[in-house]
Amino acid sequence: MTMKLYCFGESGNAYKAALPLSLSGLDWEAVKVDFFGGETRTAQYRETINEMGEAPVLIDGDTRISQSGAIQMYITEKSGKFSGRDAVEAREIMRWVLWDNHKLSGVNGMTRFLMNFLPEDKRPAEVIAFNQGRLQAAYKTLDAQLKGRDWIVGDGPTNADFSCCGYLFYPEPFGFDRADWPEIDRWLSNIQALDGWKHPYDLMPGSPADRA
């Protein structure tokens, strides 16, 4: 049975689920969520897709999973990939997934939205500046972890990599320039070299160009 990932191209959180699916060899298809049209805020979406009113959501038969980290765990269970070599690496992967959700994606996703998807006169300059400071600290942490390493944990790509890279391939400005962070830049190139890698706007339906 083909799994369905409810997602949209602009979402880095959805990309965290779509990318490991693309690399896993599992049978899946993307279902576009009209986030900017308000679909996730409708009663129907909450009743039939996700009571949290969010994307991504993975549906596999009777199994329905939301939150990108939980979806990544399910992909690992189904494919046997991206989990590390042992329990020690599995815990370290989870540590970085949780760090990303709180310190990295949790901030750069919001900052990218505020800087690009709100009308210019409604963009809160003080909030954006505060977030930029937090992001610089997060990039410094990630860059240091990657020094001398090809992957965040272990000797191959894991869910730690797919979580932390979630927003870093997007072209819209949100305070991240690969050229400023050589270790992150090298690591992102490693991810791009994986067989099956696609840019988020190529992997999932929907992009800003569709609304231009």
Mean pLDDT of 192-201: 97
Mean pLDDT of 154-168: 97
23-40 pLDDT, tens per residue? 999 999 999 999 999 999
87-140 pLDDT, tens per residue? 999 999 999 999 999 999 999 999 999 999 999 999 999 999 999 999 999 999
Looking at residue 1, its pLDDT comes to 83
The pTM (predicted TM-score) of the whole model is 0.96
Q: What's the rounded Cα separation, in Å, for the pair 46 and 110?
A: 22
Return left, alpha or beta for 84; rule: phi > 0 is left, psi -120 to 50 is alpha, else beta.
Answer: left
Radius of gyration from C-alpha coordinates of the chain? 17
**What is the DSSP track for 45-108?**
HHHHT-TT--S-EEEETTEEEESHHHHHHHHHHHH--SS-SSHHHHHHHHHHHHHIIIIIHHHH
Edge-first strand order for the sheet with 57-60 is 28-32, 3-7, 57-60, 63-66
Confidence category of residue 82, pLDDT binned at 50, 70, 90: very high
What is the separation of C-alpha 94 from the centre of its chain, rounded to a whole number of angstroms?
15
Q: Identify the structural domains of the chain with CATH numbers, from first to last.
A: 3-81+197-211 (3.40.30.10), 87-192 (1.20.1050.10)
Task: Yes or no: say if 19 and 56 are a contact pair by the CB < 8 Å rule.
Answer: no
